[in-house]
Structure 1
Amino acid sequence: MCADGEAGQPYDVAPSGRRCPFPCPVQAQCLPAITRSLQLRVKAVRSVVSLLLAFACALGIGLASAWHLIAHGSPLTTGEIGPWSVWYAAGNPNADPYTKAYLARSGRLPITSTNALYYFASTDEDGEPLRAECVYRIEGVPLNAMWWSLALYDEAGNLIPNKAKRHAFNRADLMRRPDGTFQIRLAPTAEHGNWLPTGKPGGLKIILRIYGPYEPTSAVRGREIENSLPEILKVACP
């Protein structure tokens, strides 16, 4: 209740400075103060909600950015050459966090070496995803390296089970043409020559590992190798 003689004062403040409690005998005089109090509370709630939304947006953008860098890298960590992508520090024990996270997520454990390059492909020369039910030919020229291998995986990054137990070809066991060039066939059924079975229908991934390139500098090495990367050409698809 308002104190004696205070209910008639404007708003809810009496001459003594005391606030008039609610409900007030003269509610019309108290309503402006109540309204003002509610407005202040609503404003405070809106400020808190705005801060929370801003924080959530910033967190979402940060997570999306980190996910993109882990999945695709950046110009500083990766390169794109036709269907091939390369993580330049994949074999480096001092690789950046994004490269390490990418390799950890993919389940691949590269040989630790600063003198190794790893190229990944999941599309053909036309940018179409590699499919196990299709037939592809990989056309390559001699790679200027001490040793290299080309391996085929399913879309989950697992070796593809097959009766021939063929999963990869390397510099030593690959059949070549007289001029040193080679062709590898990817197909669900047996093919002549260098054939890698593609297994059950689904996506495919190819990894080209190159160790000990002969060039003395990484810049020369990178240019030489990238100019010699095999082509991935679709032959047929049901």
Structure 2
Amino acid sequence: MFKQLTPILIALIIAIAGGIYSADVMTREFAGFGALQYGAWVSHPQTGTQDADPYARARAARTGEIALGSAEGLVFIAAHDDQKQIIDASCDYVIEGKTPAARVWSLRITDKNLLPILTQSGAVSGLHSGNTLRNGQNAFKISISSEIADGNWIPQMGNGERRFVLTLYDTSVASTTGVSEIKMPTIKAIGCDNE
């Protein structure tokens, strides 16, 4: 009798462990279907709507994030620069260009799990459209580094992988009609400590 139960128990343990592992990986690494990519920036416009797929809903439940509704805005996340290199805290970056039309936007740095990176004063490491200098064409240049830089600067703290999160609030590109024509700022690495 025990000889017959042993393979069943082994199969059951493998099935349960595999199910838990796959659910963990999917809710940690996969943000859902329907991703839109513009250069290094990726957005999931269905997140926060009735049309969100089960994977997006499971990820939101796991992380506790509150998604913006389609009328509220759109979140773009960059995990790599324009050269397809993973964003790393040991590197300095320049984000340059314009955002799509939006009433307000914010740019912040997070770790790879999208948890905010805090400055030494305890503030979130980021900028918003109200405190960003622009040139005559309404374009900006933002330096992201551990050393203070002239102009727009976001401090790069700690070590490990980073994500740049650009949130557009009250924007027309959240609708499916305007999404195909948007242009996003470029992300360039300008040097790393380990080079």
TM-score range, shorter chain: 0.7 to 0.9
Structure 2 counterpart of 1:113, one-letter code: G
Distance 1:87 1:205 in 2: 15
Q: In 2 relative to 1, CA 106–164 (structure 1 residues): closer, same or farther, beyond 3 Å?
A: closer
Distance 1:155 1:208 in 2: 15
Under a length normalisation based on structure 1, what TM-score does the superposition of the two structures give? 0.66
Specify the alignment match of 1:113 in structure 2: 69
Distance 1:69 1:88 in 2: 19
8 Å Cα contact 2:31-2:59 kept in structure 1: no
Give the 3-state SS of the residue equivalent to 2:103 in structure 1.
strand
Q: In 2 relative to 1, CA 81–51 (structure 1 residues): closer, same or farther, beyond 3 Å?
A: farther
Matches within 5 A, 1:1-238: 44-73=1-30, 76-92=33-49, 95-106=52-63, 108-110=65-67, 112-115=68-71, 116-155=73-112, 157-162=115-120, 167-215=125-173, 218-225=175-182, 228-238=183-193
Stretch moving more, 91-100 or 117-126: 91-100
Distance 2:118 2:124 in 1: 8
Q: Please identify the structure whose Cα radius of gyration is greater.
A: 1
Unmatched tracts of structure 1, length 5 or more = 1-43
Q: In 2 relative to 1, CA 107–235 (structure 1 residues): closer, same or farther, beyond 3 Å?
A: farther
8 Å Cα contact 2:31-2:55 kept in structure 1: no
Q: Which one has more relative contact order, counting CA pairs under 8 Å at least 6 apart? A: 2
Q: In 2 relative to 1, CA 50–221 (structure 1 residues): closer, same or farther, beyond 3 Å?
A: farther
Report how far residue 184 of structure 1 moved: 1.0
Unmatched tracts of structure 2, length 5 or more = none
> What is the identity percentage for the equivalent residue pairs of Structure 1 and Structure 2?
25
Structure 1 counterpart of 2:190, one-letter code: V
Report how far residue 236 of structure 1 moved: 0.7
8 Å Cα contact 1:154-1:160 kept in structure 2: no
> How well do the aligned residues superpose, as a CA RMSD in angstroms?
3.0
